[in-house]
Structure 1
Amino acid sequence: MPIIHKIIEVETSEGISIFNITPQIDEFLQDTGIKNGQVLVFSRHTTTALAINENEERLLEDVKVYLRKLAPETDKYLHNDLHLRVVPEDEPMNAHSHLMSMTLSTSEVVPIVEGKLALGTWQSVLFFDLDGPRKRTVFLQISGEY
């Protein structure tokens, strides 16, 4: 069974950014020729996350509001005591972003059936950057049969 991987890049904007990466995953799948199997989608950063949900603009805004309520940027967090730990000079105070990431997920697995992602009608693979703007990467790994 072949196992093929690829890294996709996402340039994000300030604060919480949500991107539908389903088209990039589907393009990679088509390039592999795999007909049946699965694709692992893995977020490679501690302040990013993934989810499978509806890519609807107003819902995505609701998600941002919800996440900000769960971990407000203005709350006091021990992780933000930068003077008490060794950090790079440009280290942001981003404990809230780490907490949001842990609330979501760092990976998703999508079945591949007859050469297509077996997502439901309204489902998309969504990538969340919770601490932008940054250049981010997402690891894709497809395994299956031709």
Structure 2
Amino acid sequence: MEFKVVQKELELQSRGWIPTFHDVSKEVCEIVEASGVKNGTCCVASHHTTCSVMVQECSHDIDSFDLEYLQHDLLDIMRKMIPDFAEEHQYRHPGPIHAQFGRFVNEPGDYTSMNTDGHLRSVFFGRSETLTIKDGKLDGGEFAHIYFIDWDHVRARRRQLNVTVMGTTEDIESRKWNGGKVIDTKRKYTEEEKAEMEQFWLQQKR
């Protein structure tokens, strides 16, 4: 059985001033199909510490901010948890040493480090997603789309998304566990748990 690994990088342009949601579903699906992997996994990972990857339904409706409604709902929730960096010293980060480091690596100004909200949102949301490949297709469910989220909105920037496809180029056996029998996850009480307590009998005798 042949095992194969394919890696590709997607180059994206974020707009700044507001977090950017990139729908990369088409590109990731094309990479999977071109890889020749029939059964395995596809990892979609951000190259950046202020970005995330999300697998979610496309909500179709788009508002005046060029965001799908579901995306803007998510952004509203994240803003309640982690407010936009709107004024100096709102967060501890960045400190003076970090600002000095920014100048050392030729950042255009101290303002580019005022993206603490983006870092914290990325930590909460995660930087990658892994999907299953079945018979040469991504198994994301009926409505799943893959989004690359750039939470850093202090400036427009070029971003990179890494896609790693791993798996076999051959067919596999049946995927059905235990013949496809539905798993019963309801609580099952032991005989001891079901036994009546003495206090119940006393109440009945009153």
User: Structure 1 length as normaliser, TM-score?
Assistant: 0.92
Q: Hey, what does 2:120 align to over in structure 1? A: 99
Cα shift at 1:74: 3.0
Please report the TM-score for the alignment, with normalisation by the length of structure 2: 0.67
Question: Could you tell me how far 1:30 is from its partner in structure 2?
Answer: 1.4
Partner residue of 2:23?
A: 20
2:102 and 2:113 in contact (8 A); partners too? no
What RMSD, in angstroms, separates the aligned Cα atoms of the two structures? 1.4
User: 2:70 corresponds to which letter in structure 1?
Assistant: L
State whether residues 20 and 55 of structure 1, in contact with CA within 8 Å, keep that contact through their aligned partners in structure 2: no
Q: Distance in 1 between matches of 2:15 and 2:157?
A: 7
List runs of 5+ in structure 2 lacking aligned partners: 60-67, 170-206
Shift, 1:138, TM fit: 0.7
Among 76, 81, 91, the alignment partner of 1:70 is 81
Counterpart residue type for residue 59 of structure 1: L
User: Which is greater in Rg?
Assistant: 2
Residue of structure 1 equivalent to 2:203: none
Residue of structure 2 aligned with 1:41, choices 32, 40, 44: 44
Q: Could you tell me which of 144, 149, 155 is aligned with 1:128?
A: 149
Gaps of 5+ in 1: none
Task: Give aligned pairs, total.
Answer: 145
Deviations 1:1-29 (A, max 9, x none): 11110111111112211111111100111
The percentage of counterpart residues that share the same residue type is: 27
Q: Which residue of 2 aligns with 1:88?
A: 102
Q: Which gives a bigger RCO, structure 1 or 2 (Cα 8 Å, sep 6+)?
A: 1
Could you tell me which amino acid in structure 2 is paired with residue 111 of structure 1?
T
Secondary structure of 1:135's aligned partner: strand
For 1:36, the aligned partner's letter is: N
Amino acid at match of 2:138: L
**AA at the equivalent of 1:63:** L
Q: Pick one of 145, 157, 164 that aligns with 1:141.
A: 164
Show the counterpart of 2:8: 6
Query: What is the alpha-carbon distance in structure 2 between the residues aligned to residue 6 and residue 113 of structure 1?
Result: 20
